[in-house]
Amino acid sequence: MADKEPQQPEELPIVLVHRLPSFKIPSDPSFRDQLRSQFHMLDPHESPEPYDSFLARHAPFIRVLMTIGPSPISAEFLERLPVLELIVATSAGLNHIDLPACWRRGIVVTNASLAFAEDVADCAVGLLIDVLRRISAADRFVRGRLWPVKENYPLGFKLDGKRVGIVGLGSIGSEVAKRLLAFGCTIAYTSRNKKQSVSFPFYANVRDLAANSDVLVLCCALTKETYHMINKDVMVALGKDGVIINVGRGSLINEKELVQCLVGGEMGGAGLDVYENEPNVPKELFGLDNVVLSPHCAVMTPESFEALEQLIVVNLKAFFSNKPLVSVVSNE
């Protein structure tokens, strides 16, 4: 009897890794091993071949791209990938991706908002409590040994009963709403479209939302339409006691006008995790006790990154198995 020919191993499905040279695939070795055991991960920056020729040689076979961090994806770049069907983004914000170009091509995009939503919402609520109750300022007051000298620390403000306007009621905004309802806040929102599944009052524009809120929490994506959507007009509508919390993107706010309103006492305070020109923060904010600053770290927990890794694998496996994807970015 003739010997059977050895069975060839099945080829792994191809995934292009799109990243800036300074960005790496998340460093957890078990995650990298999991990816490489199930998918053929093509990383041009790990090849000695020039980037352009590497991409041109593999482009006819690339149906899926995994983008690391804020690596730009332009319409011109997409033209180089004629059979691309799916982009798996590892960030919640997508202002680095030309979404209209993706949708014109029928390319599906998923993001990390589902993985990051709970921890970003926790951060947003933490910033709000800190601003209202002056916790960070109180910490500086005690460490600066001012308590024995000044004795009385300024009053803070109650969270219960505050009217909170959420800008962007997606995965993150919905988690913010859930948490603040438990604190006794009332919730309203603005979004691209009114959501039939929620009963919160809807405002078609952010100025009207601000005029009917004590607090604005920014959770939406940065697009051409949302760039500088929070301007002086909106801040004045929010009022002298109004508070802005931003866990979205820095350029949602006209930062120069925000500084002017805060320094001039036209607003009650702000809690900021993101800025227009990171890592540079306006120096005028450093001396304001009604402003709480954090270094774009709302997602920075091990739980968030573990959830992101699971989400990436789930979506890659789902795509190649013709199963439904999760955390899909809507084009509505």
HSE-CB for 121 with a 13 A CA cutoff: 21
The rounded distance, in Å, linking the Cα atoms of 280 and 206 is: 27
Any catalytic annotation for residue 249? yes
User: What distance in Å separates the CA atoms of residue 165 and residue 83, rounded to the nearest whole number?
Assistant: 42
Question: Cis bond leading into 279, ω under 30°?
Answer: yes
SS3 call for 187? strand
Which one from 134, 175, 249, 309 is the annotated catalytic residue? 249
For 238-274, the DSSP string reads H-TT-EEEE-S-GGGB-HHHHHHHHHTT-SSEEEES-
- CA neighbours within 13 Å on the CB side: how many for 259? 13
Q: Determine whether 306 is an active site residue.
A: no
Q: Are 309 and 297 in contact (CB under 8 A)?
A: no
Phi-psi region of 39 (alpha: psi -120 to 50; beta: other; left: phi over 0): beta
**Beta strands 163-167 and 186-190, pairing class:** parallel
Here the tokens at position 251 are 């350029």
Angle subtended at Cα 181 by Cα 175 and Cα 184, rounded to the nearest 5 degrees:
155
Are the C-beta atoms of residues 132 and 156 closer than 8 Å to each other? yes
| Distance, CA of 154 to CA of 167 (rounded, Å) | 30
* 45 is a catalytic site residue: no
Q: Which of 49, 79, 278, 303 is catalytic?
A: 278
The three-class DSSP label of residue 45 is helix
Pairing of strands 40-42, 64-67: unpaired
Catalytic hit among 163, 179, 296, 306 = 296
**Any idea which residues carry the catalytic annotation?**
249, 278, 296
